[in-house]
Every structure is written in structure tokens, then in C-alpha cells.
Amino acid sequence: MKHYKILFAVFSATSLSFVGWFTILQTIDPFSTDSFSRIMFYVFALIFLWGVFAMCFFYLRKSNNDNEKLKNLFSSIRQGLVISIGFIGLAVLRTIDVLNLLSASVYVIALILIEFYYSSKGSNYA
């Protein structure tokens, strides 16, 4: 599969999730909402951030041939997911009032170790 088709799918999912996230942001009162609305807010925000980070990381990398572009795209998607899970996870911890310096540090270190694990595997996991 060509990298531009995957990029189009990432862009489409990012755009749709932004519309959903913005709709929830405009219509739901965060102080008097149910848990389903909060979960949907975080899911749409996760997908939106994932796509934004993945596209930014892909365009920051310079590559010449299609094979290298595809490899860079997959690693950008993985890194975008890890960073967006980091941001959304910290926001969820803040929402349930358990975020402090120790819990945030442990959470960020765990995400860094996960990224190191997958980046050390090489091309098997992109």
C-alpha cells in the first residue's frame, strides 16, 4: 500500500474525530455530564491528537524512496499514538483527581519504556 493512501486515511480519521470532539466540546456541559460523554470526549481527543502527531512526525522526517517513506509513516503513527496516549492519560488522571508529580512521572516513564521497547525491535514493528 502506498504511503499517500495511508496518509489520506489518517487525515480523514483526524478530521472526523476533530468534528466529533468539537461537537462534544460545544454541546456537553463538562460539570453535569454522564461518564459516557466523558469517555467519548477522550476517545475523540485521542484519535485527533494521534492523527495530528502522526502527520507532524511524518512530515518532519525527510525520506527519498517509497519504502523509506512507508517505514517512517508507520513509526510516526506509533510515536503519535504513544504521545497522544500520554496526553490523554494525564488528562484522565487529572479528571479523576489522582494526578500528582509521582503518578505523572511513573506514567511518563512507563510510556518512554514502551516506546524504547518497540523502537529497539527495529523494522518488525516499524
pLDDT per residue over 61-87, tens digit each?
Answer: 877 777 788 888 888 999 999 999 999
> Is the whole model's pTM more than 0.85, yes or no?
yes
Which residues have a Cβ under 8 Å from the Cβ of 61 and sit 6 or more positions away? 72, 76
- Residue 94 binned pLDDT confidence (cut-offs 50, 70, 90): very high
Backbone phi and psi for residue 64, each to the nearest 5 degrees, phi listed first: -105, -50
Average pLDDT over residues 45-71: 88
- The pLDDT score that the predictor gives to residue 31 is 76
Determine contact, residues 82/119, Cβ cutoff 8 Å.
no
Determine contact, residues 13/44, Cβ cutoff 8 Å.
no
Q: b vs e for 54-81, b when ≥16 Cβ sit within 10 Å of the residue's Cβ? A: bbebbeeeeeeeeeebbbbbbbbbbbbb
- SS3 state at 105: helix
Determine contact, residues 88/45, Cβ cutoff 8 Å.
yes
Amino acid letter, residue 125: Y
Distance of CA 23 to the CA centre of its chain: 19
pLDDT in tens, 96-118: 999 999 999 999 999 999 999 98
